[in-house]
Amino acid sequence: MLKDRLILALSRDPELTQAGLARHCGLASASVSNWLTGKTTSLKGRSAVLAAQFLRCDPTWLATGVGSPNWQSETVNPGGAGDGQSLDVRTVTMTASPTLAWEVLMTRDPLPRTFMLQLRDGALSPHYNAGDVIELETGLTPEPGDYVLIRLESGCYMRRLAETAPGAWEARPVNPAYSTIAGSACEILAVQVGQVLKRRGSQQP
């Protein structure tokens, strides 16, 4: 059960607290309390990624119980989703996923279940900058707020999913200098599930 995996992860280190987890995920303490009591039984999208970063474990295992926790010894920045502090270059997720070139994304079908991608522009800045490496997974159902890889006839882009109406969405940049893309104009290829490497100066989403 989700609550059992969370309790196990929190018990590994006294510095991993319920309050710290809530702060890192940008959530109210009551929301995390619902995870730990079993009132909330699922963890998806951005919340799963941020919780796994804080708890230093695999996000798929944390959310579903499938696979191994792959515990990591390094502590992530405790500021979390809303502190806007700069981070040093660090490895947050250890992964055996292949790294794909942007050009391959237009022609390769199917894509690997999980893969790494080095960002090539500032569309997600200041959360992620050009040169940051992120891990993505195909076959997931994205939720509003998730970072998604989308494909248009003109190429592939990273954006943040936003719901505009029930059942309707668009792909928005974090950096307003880049364009918003209508959901009807693109295909979602993959959802960000992990952060592998951040360049100095990138900020935590």
d(CA 185, CA 128): 24
Last residue of one domain, picked from the residues 25, 52, 82: 82
pLDDT for residue 6 is more than 70: yes
* Residues 73-126 pLDDT 10s: 654 444 444 443 333 333 334 446 788 999 999 999 899 988 989 999 999 998
pLDDT single digits (tens) 51-76: 988 899 988 899 889 888 888 865 44
pLDDT of residue 30: 82
SS3 64: helix
The order of strands in the sheet holding 155-165 is 114-118, 133-137, 187-197, 147-152, 155-165, 168-172, 181-182
32 domain-assigned: yes
Residue 204 lies in a domain: no
* CATH assignment at residue 64: 1.10.260.40
In a domain, 188, yes or no: yes
Number of domains in the chain: 2
Q: Which of 15, 49, 82 is the endpoint of a domain? A: 82
Structure confidence by residue, pLDDT tens digits, 148-201: 999 999 999 999 999 999 889 999 999 999 999 999 989 999 998 776 566 555
> Are 111 and 193 in the same domain?
yes
The verdict on residue 148 lying in a domain is: yes
Task: Tell whether 70 and 28 lie within a shared domain.
Answer: yes
Q: Distance (Å, rounded) from C-alpha 61 to C-alpha 70?
A: 9
Residue 93 belongs to some domain of the structure: no
Does residue 97 sit within a domain? no
Question: Is residue 76 in some structural domain?
Answer: yes
Instruction: Specify the residue for token string 């900058």.
Output: 129
Query: Which of 82, 117, 135 is the C-terminal boundary of a domain?
Result: 82
- On whether residue 27 sits in a domain, the answer given is yes
Check whether residue 120 and residue 74 sit in a common domain. no
Domain of 23 in residue numbering reads as 2-82
Give me the amino acid identity at 158. M
